Structure 1
Amino acid sequence: MTTQSALQSYAEPGPLTTAEPGTAAVLTGLPSTLPDLIVAVQGLLIHEPGSAQSATGHLRMTHQILAHLLAADPRPLIEARPPAQRLAGCCRHFTLLAVAVLRAHGIPARARCGFARYFVPGLHGDHWVVEYWNAATSRWILADAQLGPVLCAALGVSFEPNDVPREQFAVAGDAWIRCRKGELDPSRCGLEGEGQSGWWWIAGNLIRDVAALAKMEMLPWDVWGAMPGPDEPINDVLADDLDQLAAITADPDTAAESRALYDNGRFRVPVRVYNFLRRTDEPVIEIT
């Protein structure tokens, strides 16, 4: 069961979803209701295959995203930018901005890291979505801020992006459990391409999901702590720990309880992390 203290925590900004002092109105100027919020976010960001190679693709903090957007176009963010002036990012940036806006409006929300079934047939593709609390129905709902009408039509998506069915998106813990039971092939969890799927990828996403539940929404290629590398076996001790984390995080009503285990030094986000794509150690919180 989701506690009131957990809801209160997720209704407040975290280190990466905080606007700079005096600029909170920038976030509250965006819609607090879905699907209006999804439309607004899509008018500000653009997903590009090469976004991970651009400077903006590596931004970790909401206030950095806002600064880039307003520097390129000082109009209120409710006004959609032309595609050329949208910030290039990945699914995590769409998710982060949507979560930041919902929290700025006092609505419990969190980022979830896992695997979507609706991008490539037969593949549980690496992906991030929003999980927000619907007070009217007293339940956590998944929303994909990246899914616009054109993309939905191209993919044949029939569900509403503001209410993604759980069978269409597996949070990392659910994917881990299903693979352990033999119900899901770990080689089909990740991305297409050699070495971009498997147990190590699922384990990394599970640890990133636990961090996101602790309000540390990291980049998909940030690496730290117990995350195994592509060629590293997962030993029994780590597997047991991941079993425990998966059991807690797979259920949205108990997911917040993982925050107690997050303080384990192997899972907690350190001051600096390894950016796998840039091959560099980088600070998580950048002081400007």
Structure 2
Amino acid sequence: MVNVVIDYVQHSPMTVLDPSQHWLLDGLPDDPVSICASARTLVLSPEDAVAVGVPKDRLKEQNIRPVRDLVAILARRWPERLERPRPPEARVVGASRHAATLACSLLREHGYAARVRCGFRTVTSRETPRTHWTAEWWSPYDERWMRMDPDPASTGSHPDAGEAPTDFVTAGEAWQLYRTRSPGRPDFASGADSAHVSARISAGVVRDLAALCKAEMLPTDTWGRMAMPQHAFMSAAYLHLIDVVASLCVRDEPAGLVRLFASNDLAVPPHMIESRADEGAV
């Protein structure tokens, strides 16, 4: 059953909307698959933004953390309900994190237990995996988390419910693959400096931990131990800590996740949780 240690039905500071924005949700579908599909239509990838001639100063929208500020931009650019088709220039500029966090917010608004996951995607075992974010909701019928990819760059307009992106692994899974060099799976160390790769994947593990603890941060956000200049040269103790975090994330053990997330090395500073639009990464 869904855990009671972390209440994924209730909003986090990142996913909550202002009361004045609730009218924008009128007309949105009720089922989680359609909700996630709707979130996809609200986000324009940075590459597509440049291609359609969106002003370059709007690229800073990638640095907005709270959903309420993303929705404020959507309402300002196109003052219509979110279910209405909108032109590309009326969408918010961002990547998979924005799409996943918007989907999570809309799912919670409809009473679903929902959460964001940070991980990596790759097409082939020879390709360098890239950071990616997805959304999950709890299905009482299936008694498991169902994963869907609301990323605007994804292929297909309406994936099947619970159909996980086939090339996606959570950051914890990626870390375990990196540490074990599992044959036949994506090589997370291929063609790259090992220290750089370990820093990149371990940062993803910490961001996934934060997301599981309802702190849905930006892909560029750093804090705690991973914000230190020497992060790329991790001590044996820190490697062990990431091993533990990755294992808990993969096993989805909420009590352990909450306990670790409270530590100085891993906790998100309050000022980052409270920041609003355009403040970006620190």
Taking structure 1 as the reference length, the TM-score comes to: 0.81
Counterpart code for 1:38 = C
Structure with bigger strand share is 1
Question: What is the match of residue 260 of structure 1?
Answer: 259
What's the RMSD between the two structures over aligned residues? 3.2
Question: What is the match of residue 236 of structure 1?
Answer: 236
In structure 2, how many angstroms separate the alpha carbons of the residues matched to 1:147 and 1:287?
21
The percentage of counterpart residues that share the same residue type is 26
Question: What is the match of residue 39 of structure 1?
Answer: 37
Question: What is the match of residue 94 of structure 2?
Answer: 89
Question: What is the match of residue 60 of structure 1?
Answer: 65
1:64-75 maps to which residues of 2 (within 5 A)? Answer: 64-75=69-80
Out of 147, 155, 160, the position equivalent to 1:152 is 155
Q: Which moved more, 1:197-206 or 1:115-124?
A: 115-124
Question: What is the match of residue 103 of structure 1?
Answer: 108
SS of the residue corresponding to residue 147 of structure 2 reads strand
Shift of 1:178: 1.6
Q: 1:123 to 1:213 in 2, by over 3 A?
A: same
Task: Give the unaligned 5+ runs of structure 2.
Answer: 50-55
Shift of 1:266: 1.2
Contact 2:14 2:67 in 1 (8 A): yes
In structure 2, how many angstroms separate the alpha carbons of the residues matched to 1:123 and 1:287?
31
Structure with bigger helix share is 2
Question: What is the match of residue 216 of structure 2?
Answer: 217
Contact 1:262 1:268 in 2 (8 A): yes
Question: What is the match of residue 203 of structure 1?
Answer: 202
Note the alpha carbon deviations across 1:205-245, whole angstroms, 9 max, x for none: 00011111111111100111011658721111111111111
Contact 2:14 2:216 in 1 (8 A): yes
Out of 125, 148, 164, the position equivalent to 1:143 is 148
SS of the residue corresponding to residue 266 of structure 1 reads coil
Shift of 1:259: 1.7
Contact 2:135 2:150 in 1 (8 A): yes
In the alignment, structure 1 residue 286 sits paired with structure 2 residue 251: no
In structure 2, how many angstroms separate the alpha carbons of the residues matched to 1:21 and 1:117?
39
Question: What is the match of residue 16 of structure 2?
Answer: 18
Contact 2:120 2:130 in 1 (8 A): yes
SS of the residue corresponding to residue 226 of structure 1 reads helix
In the alignment, structure 1 residue 125 sits paired with structure 2 residue 130: yes
Task: Give the unaligned 5+ runs of structure 1.
Answer: 274-282
Shift of 1:47: 1.2
In structure 2, how many angstroms separate the alpha carbons of the residues matched to 1:285 and 1:31?
30
Shift of 1:64: 0.3
Q: 1:147 to 1:56 in 2, by over 3 A?
A: closer
Q: 1:161 to 1:46 in 2, by over 3 A?
A: farther
Contact 2:177 2:188 in 1 (8 A): no
Question: What is the match of residue 248 of structure 1?
Answer: 248
In structure 2, how many angstroms separate the alpha carbons of the residues matched to 1:256 and 1:45?
33
Counterpart code for 2:97 = R
